[in-house]
Amino acid sequence: MDRLVLDPTGRDRDAETAELHARGPATPVDILGVKAWAVADPDVLEDLLKDPRVSKDPLLHWPDFAEVVPTWPLALWVSARNMFTAHGADHRRLRRLVGSAFTARQVGAMTVRVEQLTDGLLDDLAAAGPDAVVDLRERLAHPLPIRVIAELLGLPDDLQDRFRTRVDRVFDTTLTPEESAANAVEFYTMLDELIAAKRRAPDESMTSLLIAARDTDPDRPGPDGTGPGPGPDGTRPDNTGPGPDRSALTEEELRDTLLLIVSAGYETTVNLIDNGIANLLTHPDQLALVRAGKAGWDDVVEESLRRDAPVAHLPLRYAVEDIELPGGTTIPRGGAILAAYAAAGRHPARHGDGGADFDVTRPAKDHLAFGHGPHFCLGAPLARLEGRTALRKLFERFPALALAPHAALAPVGSLISNGHHALPVVLGDQAPQAPQAS
């Protein structure tokens, strides 16, 4: 079978999805010059995502790593050292350090703040007037997630826009290798600025908590990563070093964990909000069902995640040994695996011929948009909260909201990010506002 070359611009996602469906459970693909196996069948993909024979660590399990990374535009996706690229005990250690910030209790505590941030953004939109054309990707879908992540990590105002630019370019698969490498350098420079600032003035942010885990754990690795390093006072502990499931962070892991939280917690939620708005505006019958109480905002969120996974393709995983798939295809040991989430969400194996339809009353809205298994997205509850809040408040505040005349919903330039370049709308008149209590 010929290798399918994935389009870095994402211009015709529907045609690419149809081709992936037609090629069976897994098919050889080319990702900007790198060979991999794209898996679009949701049943097969779900099994692989929880299979211990599938690793996320390229240093251990991808023979092509050293050759690929120097010139591949997506090098940062596989070279960063955090829980995204970790396997086994290392993955459990890194995930445990981050997981406490995304418990149901912690996310619940953020509900009021997410609502406040959303209301502020809608107030800014309303100031444009009912007849103005505004870009909701730029004015709502983008700023809400970055402000939530900024508060979680304690990002100063002057870094928020700079981080947004860097994250956008991490997901931009039209960059040259040189542009991508320059973006990574700038990203790490900003992360170093953030870490240095929080070391000088610690606070209650997640950044400071991760720094504390790095700087105060007596079992943390030394500068060479092989044994315990000095404590805050410069002395070394008397123990013999960390065990196989140590809790410490290396400095590299600290930087790359922050990189992951900023990137994953931002772009994916932008696309969720963007796609949710676009789906409702292009399917007014479905919006009417929500307004009539025949479906809820959670239904909108889950159906949008299923139909339009915020990440279309997620690089990469690796076969630890030969893995035979249904139908006789074998992914060889060391083979790179690409999770084709957008195609999996619409696959006829689970959703029949109507997989591409947007149906908020669909009984089975199951999807893999947040992954599955050990690497299931820790930020899923927070993303759902932001998506649900933004959509509900937007459509309640602006009941006449409509796409701008002749609006062209062009895709963002990426084979990874699955959203729109812009989402131009006309707000229309606001709903009557309840008087404020005095």
- Cα separation, 162 vs 182, in Å, equals 14
Which amino acid would we find at residue 101? A
Using only C-alpha atoms, the chain has a radius of gyration, in whole angstroms, of 22
Instruction: Give the closest residue to 26 by CA, choosing from 3, 8, 7.
Output: 3
Domain coordinates in residue numbering, the chain: 4-426
- CB count, 10 Å around CB of 285? 9
Answer for the pair 263, 146: CB distance below 8 angstroms, yes or no. Answer: no
Answer for the pair 385, 110: CB distance below 8 angstroms, yes or no. Answer: yes
- Cα separation, 243 vs 258, in Å, equals 24
User: What is the side-by-side order of every strand in the sheet holding 424-426?
Assistant: 133-135, 424-426, 402-403
Answer for the pair 169, 183: CB distance below 8 angstroms, yes or no. Answer: yes
Question: Distance of CA 29 to CAs 57, 205, 259, 391, 394, Å?
Answer: 20, 41, 27, 36, 39
Looking only at the bridges linking them, the beta strands covering 54-55 and 402-403 are unpaired
Which amino acid would we find at residue 284? P
- CB count, 10 Å around CB of 103? 12
What homologous superfamily is domain 4-426 in, according to CATH? Cytochrome P450 (1.10.630.10)
Looking only at the bridges linking them, the beta strands covering 424-426 and 402-403 are antiparallel
One digit per residue, the tens of pLDDT, for the chain of length 438 reads 799 999 999 999 999 999 999 999 999 999 999 999 999 999 999 999 999 999 999 999 999 999 999 999 999 999 999 999 999 999 999 999 888 778 888 888 899 999 999 999 999 999 999 999 999 999 999 999 999 999 999 998 888 888 999 999 999 999 999 999 999 999 999 999 999 999 999 999 999 999 998 877 545 544 444 444 433 333 333 333 333 344 578 999 999 999 999 998 889 999 999 999 999 999 999 999 999 999 999 999 999 999 999 999 999 999 999 999 988 899 999 999 999 999 999 999 999 999 999 999 999 899 999 999 999 999 999 999 999 999 999 999 999 999 999 888 999 999 999 999 999 999 999 988 766 554
Looking only at the bridges linking them, the beta strands covering 54-55 and 314-319 are antiparallel
Indicate the pTM of the whole model.
0.91
